[in-house]
Amino acid sequence: MISKGSFLRLFVAIAVPEAARMEMRRLQDELRGLASPDDVRWVHPRQFHLTLKFLGAVPPASLEAVKAALTSACDGIAPFRVYARGIGFFPHDRSPRVIWVGLDSDHAGLIELRRRVDRALASFAEKHGEETFRAHVTIGRFQKFRRHKAEKLLPRASAFRDHVFGEWQVDAVALMRSELSSDGARHTALISVPLG
C-alpha cells in the first residue's frame, strides 16, 4: 500500500515482446565477457522497454488524472509496426555511458504518439519542455567508463550497428512504476492503454 505522503516514480513505455528481448539478450551475452561487471551493469531483459515519457515523482492523488491524460493521448493513434535495429551509445562511442538498441518505424505513428504523450503529460513531469527523442532500448550502463577496459567491447558491439533484433506491432502503451533498489530498478505496469 502507498502511504499518503509518498510519491510514485512513473514513466510511459512501449513494451518489447519476448522474441526481440531474447535476441537482445543474446547480444548482451556476447558482450558480457568483454567487460567486467564493475564496468558495465547489464539491464535484465524483463526490463527492456522504449520510454516515451519519464514523469519522475508523481503524487498518488494525481494517478487517475495521469491515466486519463494518457488515454486521451493514445486516442486516435492507430497501431503501428516498429523494428529494433542496430546498436549505439549515449552520449557517443568515444565516452559511452549507455549501450542501446535502436527502435524505428516506417510509420509516423511512433513520432506522433511520442509528441502527444509528451504534451498530454507535461504538467505531471518533473522536467518540462520537449526533450530530444531517440527511440531506443537501454541494454547496459557503464558504471565508470575506462577506455582500456572497453577496448574489446566497443568494436564487437559496433559490429551490430545494422543487426535487426525484431519487428512487432505496437497496439498499446503502458504507464509504468519504477522502484529503485541496490539491485537496480524494478518496473511494474500500472495500466495498459490501447491505441486507436
CA distance 135 to 161: 15
In a domain, 152, yes or no: yes
What would the mean pLDDT of 52-59 be, rounded to a whole number?
A: 95
* Confidence (pLDDT) at 106: 86
Q: Based on the structure, what is the number of domains in the chain?
A: 1
What would the mean pLDDT of 2-25 be, rounded to a whole number?
A: 87
Who wins on pLDDT, 145 or 112?
Answer: 112
Are 2 and 8 spatial neighbours (Cβ–Cβ below 8 Å)?
A: yes
CA distance 151 to 185: 28
* Confidence (pLDDT) at 151: 76
Evaluate if residue 183 carries a pLDDT over 80. no
- Whole-prediction pTM: 0.90
In a domain, 2, yes or no: no
Identify the three-state secondary structure at position 143. coil
* Confidence (pLDDT) at 2: 43
**Full residue range of the structural domain in which residue 88 is found:** 8-194
* Confidence (pLDDT) at 62: 96
Are 25 and 63 spatial neighbours (Cβ–Cβ below 8 Å)?
A: no
Identify the three-state secondary structure at position 76. coil
In a domain, 144, yes or no: yes
In a domain, 3, yes or no: no
CATH number where 158 lies:
3.90.1140.10
In a domain, 113, yes or no: yes
Residue-wise pLDDT for 122-174, tens only, equals 999 987 655 688 999 999 998 876 666 677 888 899 899 999 999 999 999 99
* Confidence (pLDDT) at 137: 98
Residues written for the chain: 196
- For the chain, what percent of residues have pLDDT higher than 70? 93
Evaluate if residue 184 carries a pLDDT over 90. no
In a domain, 1, yes or no: no
- For the chain, what percent of residues have pLDDT higher than 90? 71
Nearest to 45 by CA among 14, 27, 24, 15: 24
In a domain, 161, yes or no: yes
Who wins on pLDDT, 186 or 100?
Answer: 100
- In the structure grid, which three cell numbers stand for residue 156, read together? 564487437
Q: How many CB atoms lie within 10 A of CB 86?
A: 18
* Confidence (pLDDT) at 92: 83
CA distance 3 to 40: 35
Measured in degrees and rounded to the nearest 5, phi and psi for residue 109 equal -60, -40
Evaluate if residue 115 carries a pLDDT over 80. yes
In a domain, 127, yes or no: yes
